[in-house]
Amino acid sequence: MQFPKQLASLLPSFLLSSIALAQYGQNSACAPGSASEGLTQAGYKTAWTIDSQNWTRLNEVFTQDVYYDSTALGQYGGKTEGIEQTREALQKAGEGAKTSHVVTNLYVEEMMGPEKAKVITQ
């Protein structure tokens, strides 16, 4: 059995996107190298990428066809499609801001296919 390479993610409850992950071997559900651990690490890396405003590495955590819905952020949010629109929106929203995501829980809400899943982190 092979675990997913690309997974859709909801980070935190308002971010729906595709996350690119390395392929993981066959392990127990939460062990190092498992799909759950891969999703958890992807969530952490996404938060780090946004918090450090390291926009050149955005393609390491999102696929080219990312759908980003941050309307929950009010005037700082919105909806974008594609990595370039998402990069521009994140840069604009983060200008001069110091952010620190605290990601404590991971829940796989739905396996959408062999290479996609909807994940909620909080």
Is residue 4 assigned to a domain?
no
The answer to whether the beta carbons of residues 103 and 49 sit under 8 Å apart is no
Tell me how many domains the chain contains. 1
Q: What is the DSSP letter of 107?
A: E
Is residue 91 assigned to a domain?
yes
Residue 94 CB partners (closer than 8 Å, separation 6+): 50, 53
User: CA separation (Å) from 27 to 1, 3, 37, 54, 77?
Assistant: 10, 10, 10, 32, 38
Is residue 8 assigned to a domain?
no
Q: Which domain holds residue 77?
A: 35-121
pLDDT at 32: 61
Q: Is the pLDDT of residue 9 over 50?
A: no
How many CB atoms are closer than 10 A to CB 43? Answer: 25
For the record, the structure tokens of 107 come out as 């829940």
pLDDT at 107: 76
What does the pLDDT average to over 30-40?
69
Query: Tokens 């796989």 identify what position?
Result: 108
pLDDT band at 14 (very low <50, low <70, confident <90, very high): very low
Is 0.85 topped by the overall pTM? Answer: no
pLDDT at 71: 87
Average pLDDT, the chain: 72
**Helices and strands counted in the chain (H then E):** 2, 6
Q: Is the pLDDT of residue 55 over 80?
A: yes
Is residue 26 assigned to a domain?
no
Q: Is the pLDDT of residue 24 over 80?
A: no
CA–chain centroid gap for 29, Å, is: 20
